[in-house]
């Protein structure tokens, strides 16, 4: 059974003045976000980015035609269910369960309704030159693997989209390998050793969030949802032999110290804060 969204979620980055690489959004004030808030003058901008409208294999068809999608269900290999529960279908299109965004249609997102992603949060303790865990205000300091996105320049968790029919556990491992590790550049024997170590680490993770994400790409009809899982290297030995190297979708990659001063993409800072709480670490 799917979990319902818990608590009040931020709905800020998906109401920025301009859509990423696209038009200005219709302005949505804080007190007009929810669909049951009276907003008769609301006239959102229609926008589907050209790469999405070109109908690539990873995108849905335009549902203004004859295409019929099975929303709120498993539709072939595509999971169209939402962690928020049953979402409304209005005039044949799914409605964002959190509220208005100032943009209708799909924007940069391939799927109508929920677009599922997975975010692997790989952590270790920050250590001094003697190997002792660095302390701040009586608590250990954590570091996590972060990538710098090419599209926005913001630092983020190295996550990505769940492929059709793919198990989320595979997505987590695949995205981390593709975006943060130089494993593909290694000789075959060393590559196998790295994959073995990575498999050990990714065999045990702690789910810290599943649900809606306040993503700047969200629209009234398409939105991001994710499963965020923490994979913690307690001794630091697993990642000692891994070389971090940015993949094709990233400008840079590094270990970043976890603190409240971080500025991260979308809802990623919230996920990082949850990890710090889970590990009783400084934040």
Element (H, E) at 273: helix 268-278
Mean pLDDT per segment of 10 residues, for the chain of length 283 residues?
40 93 95 95 97 95 83 95 96 95 97 95 94 96 92 89 85 78 66 76 88 96 96 83 70 92 92 97 97
Which DSSP state fits 228? Answer: E
pLDDT of residue 6: 35
pLDDT of 240: 61
Give the integer Cα–Cα distance in Å for 195 and 183: 8
Domains and CATH numbers, the chain: 116-278 (3.90.79.10)
State residue 78's pLDDT score: 94
Over the range 123-144, which residues count as b (16 or more CB within 10 Å of their CB) and which as e?
bbbbeeeeeeeeeeeeebbbbb
């Amino acid at each position: 059974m799917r979990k319902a969204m818990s608590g009040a979620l931020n709905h800020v980055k998906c109401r920025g003045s301009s859509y990423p690489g696209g038009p200005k959004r219709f302005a949505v004030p804080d007190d007009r976000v929810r669909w049951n808030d009276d907003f008769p003058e609301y006239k959102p901008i229609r926008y589907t980015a050209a790469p999405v409208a070109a109908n690539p294999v990873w995108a849905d068809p335009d549902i203004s035609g004859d295409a019929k999608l099975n929303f709120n269900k498993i539709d072939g290999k595509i999971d169209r269910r939402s962690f928020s529960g049953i979402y409304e279908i209005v005039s044949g299109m799914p409605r964002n369960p959190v509220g208005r965004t100032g943009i209708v249609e799909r924007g940069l997102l391939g799927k109508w309704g929920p677009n599922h992603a997975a975010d692997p949060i790989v952590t270790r303790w920050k250590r001094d030159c003697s190997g002792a865990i660095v302390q701040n205000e009586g608590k250990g300091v954590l570091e996590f693997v972060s990538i710098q996105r090419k599209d926005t320049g913001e630092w983020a968790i190295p996550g990505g989209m769940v492929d059709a029919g793919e198990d989320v556990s595979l997505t987590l491992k695949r995205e981390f390998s593709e975006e943060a590790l130089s494993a593909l550049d290694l000789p075959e024997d060393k590559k196998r050793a790295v994959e073995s170590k990575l498999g050990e680490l990714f065999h045990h993770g702690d789910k810290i969030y599943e649900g809606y994400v306040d993503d700047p790409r969200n629209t009234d009809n398409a939105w991001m949802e994710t499963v965020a899982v923490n994979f913690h290297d307690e001794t630091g030995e697993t990642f000692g032999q891994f070389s971090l190297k940015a993949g094709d979708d990233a400008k840079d990659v590094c270990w970043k110290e976890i603190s409240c001063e971080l500025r991260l993409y979308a809802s990623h800072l919230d996920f990082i804060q949850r990890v710090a709480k889970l590990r009783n670490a400084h934040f």
